[in-house]
Amino acid sequence: MNSKTPKKGISARRREALSAYGFLVPNFLGFLAFTSIPVIVSLVMSFTHWNIFKHPVFVGIDNFRSLLWFHREHGRLVPNDPFFWQYVYNTVFLMIGIPIGMAGSLIVALMMNRKLKGIVVYRTIYFLPTVCSGVALLILWKYLYNSDIGLINSILRAVGVANPPDWLGTTFWAKPALILMGLWGGLGGYNMILYLAALQGVPSSYYEAAEIDGAGPWAKFWAVTWPMISPTTFFILIMSIIGGFQSGFMTANVMTGGGPAGSTTTIEYYLYQTAFEKFNMGYASAVAWVLFAVILVLTLATWKFGGRVVTYE
């Protein structure tokens, strides 16, 4: 009897292990099929010229040279692909809203963190736009920005502005209009929830100690609240930078088509146009890998700098 007991135990452990592997295999296969293999294929494709209608032709680093290199023309340096650099500028410009949105999310979280009657209802109301369809919200804002019948211009005319801006129809106003829309969407979004969770995690004893030392509201914020929520701020900053470089497709596709004159085309939308409108898959893959490299470098730089200013309890 005793000699058979270990075999049963081993068999049970093996069955348990096989059961666990059985649950892991579908996810692993999905990861291989939809993530790992496409990433490797895109890297290989970035060194080819392929328009999906003909066989790929190996071109070495020509795609990257066309994308990043400059040439001299009439005595000055000109980018080989001026559109790419214009869209890099557009992407970075639209990211101006990141620190403003973070500050706004923190202010809303501070208000939502107060112990008031019905505060849960207000939190729900502020978070509601986040669960709505992104396309539906973009269509809503497109109508709000309409130069003829939009609510924003109607209000401006009512207060005496004779010629309100054509928000999405001029290169001067298009990017600021998208930044303003992004700020509205971010105030009650996930950043606010993250800040609210961080604020609720600050021990009340810290505030009590600060009050004993005679600290006022501002002093308590800078001496207690800000250091305690700095890890959350750092996390939001990194994720916002990554998201900022990977955003813009839906907005451009629904609201502006990348116009006017390419002023709202981001790197992501340029990648889409190159791959699925021009069918230049090799060049689009090169754009994707350059975008990956930029995000990686900026994330590592931010991480190195953030480690010096973030306070961990």
Nearest Cα residue to 197 out of 235, 150, 161, 162: 235
The answer to whether residue 220 is domain-embedded is: yes
Considering the domain architecture, whether residues 187 and 292 belong to the same structural domain is answered as: yes
What is the model's pLDDT at position 10? Answer: 61
Considering the domain architecture, whether residues 15 and 140 belong to the same structural domain is answered as: no
> Angle at CA 280, nearest 5°, toward 82 and 39?
105
The answer to whether residue 101 is domain-embedded is: yes
Mean pLDDT score, 97-116 = 90
Q: Band the pLDDT of 219: cuts 50, 70, 90.
A: very high
What is the model's pLDDT at position 305? Answer: 80
- Please give the helix or strand (H or E) that residue 33 lies within, else none: none
Alpha carbons within 13 A on the beta-carbon side of 204: 2
Query: Mean pLDDT in the chain?
Result: 88
Considering the domain architecture, whether residues 34 and 173 belong to the same structural domain is answered as: no
Supply the range of the domain harboring residue 39.
Answer: 5-45
Considering the domain architecture, whether residues 23 and 132 belong to the same structural domain is answered as: no
Considering the domain architecture, whether residues 33 and 88 belong to the same structural domain is answered as: no
| Tokens matching residue 182 | 């992004």
The answer to whether residue 52 is domain-embedded is: no
Residue 38 contacts by C-beta under 8 Å, 6 or more apart in sequence?
none
Q: Please report, for the domain that includes residue 233, its CATH number.
A: 1.10.3720.10
Considering the domain architecture, whether residues 40 and 105 belong to the same structural domain is answered as: no
Considering the domain architecture, whether residues 41 and 155 belong to the same structural domain is answered as: no
| % of the chain beyond a pLDDT of 70 | 96
The answer to whether residue 24 is domain-embedded is: yes
C-alpha–C-alpha distance, residues 38 and 55, integer Å: 18
The answer to whether residue 66 is domain-embedded is: no
| Tokens matching residue 58 | 């190996």
Considering the domain architecture, whether residues 120 and 225 belong to the same structural domain is answered as: yes
The answer to whether residue 64 is domain-embedded is: no
What is the model's pLDDT at position 194? Answer: 93
pLDDT tens string 152-204: 999 999 999 889 999 999 999 999 999 999 888 777 788 999 999 999 999 98
Considering the domain architecture, whether residues 109 and 252 belong to the same structural domain is answered as: yes
The answer to whether residue 247 is domain-embedded is: yes
Considering the domain architecture, whether residues 107 and 32 belong to the same structural domain is answered as: no
Residue 104 has pLDDT above 70, yes or no: yes
Least confident stretch, 3-12, 69-78, 174-183, 274-283:
3-12
- Tally of structural domains, the chain: 2
The answer to whether residue 54 is domain-embedded is: no
Mean pLDDT score, 42-68 = 93
Considering the domain architecture, whether residues 194 and 288 belong to the same structural domain is answered as: yes
Considering the domain architecture, whether residues 169 and 300 belong to the same structural domain is answered as: yes
